[in-house]
Structure formats: C-alpha cells, structure tokens
Amino acid sequence: MLTPERRQEPNSELKRILDLSFQISVLAPSMRPFIRFAKQTDRLYGKQSTEMRPSLFWDFDDTLQKILLKIARTIATPEEIWQSRAERSRNGFSSAFVERKKWELDELSLRKTKPWFETTPREEFVFARIPHRSRLLYVGCDSGIECFPLAERGHQVTAIHTDPEMVEVANDWARHFRFPFKAICADLPEFTSARESFDSFIIDFYGSHPSMEQVITAQSNLARVITDDGLGFVVAKRKKFASYWFLMNTCYPSAMTRWLMKQAPLDFYYSKFDSAEERLLYGAYNRSYTSETLASELGLSFDVLECQFEKYDPRYVMAVVRRKDQPDITTHHRRTPVVDENNGLSKPYVWLTSNVQSICDILKSHEQQLSQYFDNRHFFPCKNPLQVVDTNMSEFIDLLIEVFETIPAQLR
C-alpha cells in the first residue's frame, strides 16, 4: 500500500504515462501503413529481421501500450489507475462534449422540438430479451443518449456514471423529454442499491477495472441488484478494436481517414486476430476479450446464456447472463503487481518513458505531414501517399528496437 503522504500528492509520473498512452492511441493509425511499407521492411519482416517477432513492429502501438501499463503498475495501485480514468474524463475531452450537449439541449428547447432516437441493432437485441416496462440499470451512460431509446420504449432506466457533469446533462435531457430516466453519479465497485431492485442491467465498458478484486466487486454488485429471472447484458472490447479506430471521432481530413480505413484490414496480418490481453488504451486501463475468456470470467458470478462477437459492431463481444444461486468468486485470482512505495520511476523506466516520448514526437510530426498531403493532394494527382510522404523510417525503427529490446520476454 502507498503511504498517506504519497496518496495526497498528485502522481505526475502516472499522468505522464497515461498521456503518452493517449497520444499513441490518437497518432498511431496514421503511422501504421508507413511502418509496414517502410524502406526498412526487410530488416523487420524479412530474412534480415531480428529475433524479435515481426508483430512487435507490425502492431507497434499495441506493444507500446503494454509497456506503458507495466510501467504504470510499478508506481500506482490498480485503484489509482482506475481513478485516473475518471479524472481524465472530467478534466479532458469530456468537458467539450458536455458543453456541446448543453448547447444542443438549449437549441431544442428554443425550437420546442424533439430529436428521433434511432435504435441500434444492440438495443433491438436487448428489447427482444427483456419484458416491457422493465426496471433497467445502465452502467456507463455518458450523456444519456444511449439510454434514451430504452426509456422512450417505456423502460424505467437508472443510469450511473462517474462524471457529475455528465450525470447533470443526462438528467437535464431526460427532464426535457419527460423520459422515465434517472442518472446517478456513482462508481460500479461502490454502487449500492436494494437487492433485486432491477429486472435487467447493461454494462458497456466491461474490462476497464485494473484488478481482479474490482472485477469481482463489480460483478457481485450487478448480481445483487437484479431479480432471479433478470438478465444482464455485458459488452466488452475485443482486440480487433484496433482495426476499427476510425469509428472513433478523429481530427483527420476526411480523405485521410478514408485512405487509412483501407489499410485497416492489414492490422492483424502478423498478430493474433483476437486474444485476451491487458494494455493501456486512450490513457486508461483496458482488457480485451474473446467470447471464451469473457464467458469464463463472467462465470464467476453469473450463468452465461449467450456470448458472441457482435455482428453489427466488430469492436465488441457481448454476453447475456443471469445471476448464479451460488457465485464462485474465490477460485479465480489475477496477480496484482507490487507498487514501489519509496521510489518513483526506476532508471530503466525513466529511460523507457523518455524514448516513448520521442516516439510520440515522431508520430505527431508524421501525422502533420500526412494531413498536409491530404490538404494539398491536388498537387499530387493519382499519387499514393506512400509515394509522396517519406517512408524512410530509420530513426523511428531504431527507437522501437531500443525500446523493444528492453521489454520482458512475455511481451515478445
């Protein structure tokens, strides 16, 4: 455990590591095609390759995210890593999102109009399995938009989110539309509600808790609040998520996004198509699942009725569960790394972090070059970006090799 003095101090080292993770998530897609088709590809993937697996370079961003998670775990507890996720959401990109939602609601109020909340295939999947006008718990509601199609159908929705501003916006929207909806500021591991107070639940960020203790607590809380016949819908990320980064909002020119999308099918050419892995992603802890590993983990507290990759959204795997009469939460343990209470980053990790920062600097410069190409591509008619933008990646590859040569054998 960390000392009280350490806990009262802002963990600037952890924040820096999570910021590097966020930069890699945002900047790496524009580099992927260039590292794969660089002038030095023979050195990486051909006969002259090093002893390191080609996938370390092919999926260089995924490897860097695993390294950053290892570093983060040496200086912070799982609870601190989890809390930093909520703090980043409150202080970073969500603030602009909150302001936009407030403005949209003001505009709707002035025009006295109501938007049409179109249901998604996932929501139709849920509707087909739960009774009409059921009591539904929604975990991770953001601004509430994902919940409103459920409330519009007459379900009594209670939603929880860790960001109080998000909760306020969600409640404002629900009041405007007079939906049977209420958002609460709460964290799932600490969430308390009366036993069997809901008929069903949906959780759409499963896999974001860094310790097994948090996972078991979250599962227990969810199992406690639903009825014996109630169903739970658990949505988790799969590793293939990286191939579909373009479904997130980006600041790329639209033509650049379209070109990069065509490269996405190559993302797992060398690596496993799907696997259960831990890494950082967008500055937060993330665990990817296959249908088998998700079903196995949920089996601690639930009977798993269905578990499959979502056909309509390839980023996710979804399970349908019902609580067990006798949960088995004592037989599964995931090792929690030990945190050094007395020191900050060790010298090797300081060196690693510095090199990862240099990698991010090159990624940023490359993204700017590629964006400039697409902003001015009328000067390069019928030219492939790989023919115009520099594909000499010597400096970048040398940095990757330096970093990857220091990583533990289990990451290779």
Query: What does the pLDDT look like over 161-186, one tens digit per residue?
Result: 888 888 888 898 888 888 899 999 88
Give the bridge partners for 137, in sequence order: 158, 201
Q: How do 226-237 and 156-161 pair as beta strands?
A: unpaired
- Helix-then-strand count for the chain, H and E: 17, 9
pLDDT value of residue 1: 36
Residue 128 has pLDDT above 90, yes or no: yes
Question: What CA–CA distance (Å, rounded) separates 363 from 384?
Answer: 20
Q: What is the dihedral of CA 24, 29, 31, 36, to 10 degrees?
A: 120
> Both tokens of residue 285?
């802890």
* 165 closest CA partner among 83, 84, 97: 97
**Which amino acid is it at 298?**
L
pLDDT value of residue 163: 82
Distances (CA, A) of 250 to 23, 57, 218, 241, 245: 13, 23, 32, 15, 9
> Domain segments of the chain: what residues?
4-76+345-411, 95-238+274-323
Comparing 111-125, 146-160, 343-357, which segment has the lowest mean pLDDT?
111-125
Question: What CA–CA distance (Å, rounded) separates 64 from 77?
Answer: 20
Computed from CA positions of residues 377, 380, 382, 383, in that sequence, does the dihedral angle turn out positive or negative?
negative
pLDDT in tens, 351-376: 899 999 999 999 999 999 999 989 88
75: burial class by Cβ within 10 Å (0-12, 13-18, 19+)? buried
Residues whose CB is less than 8 angstroms from the CB of residue 224 and which lie 6 or more positions away in sequence, other chains included: 195
Superfamily of domain 95-238+274-323: Vaccinia Virus protein VP39 (3.40.50.150)
Residue-averaged pLDDT of the chain: 83
Residue 338 has pLDDT above 60, yes or no: no
Residues whose CB is less than 8 angstroms from the CB of residue 89 and which lie 6 or more positions away in sequence, other chains included: 162, 163
Strand order from edge to edge, sheet including 198-206: 181-185, 156-161, 135-139, 198-206, 226-237, 316-323, 302-309
Q: How do 226-237 and 198-206 pair as beta strands?
A: parallel
Give residue for tokens 């929501």: 123
Q: pLDDT band for position 10 (50/70/90)?
A: very low
Mean predicted confidence (pLDDT) in 35-59: 77
Comparing 39-48, 68-77, 293-302, 304-313, which segment has the lowest mean pLDDT?
39-48
Question: What CA–CA distance (Å, rounded) separates 338 from 74?
Answer: 7
Angle between helices 78-91 and 12-27 (to 10 degrees): 60
> Both tokens of residue 233?
């819908």
Contact 396, 362 (CB under 8 A): yes
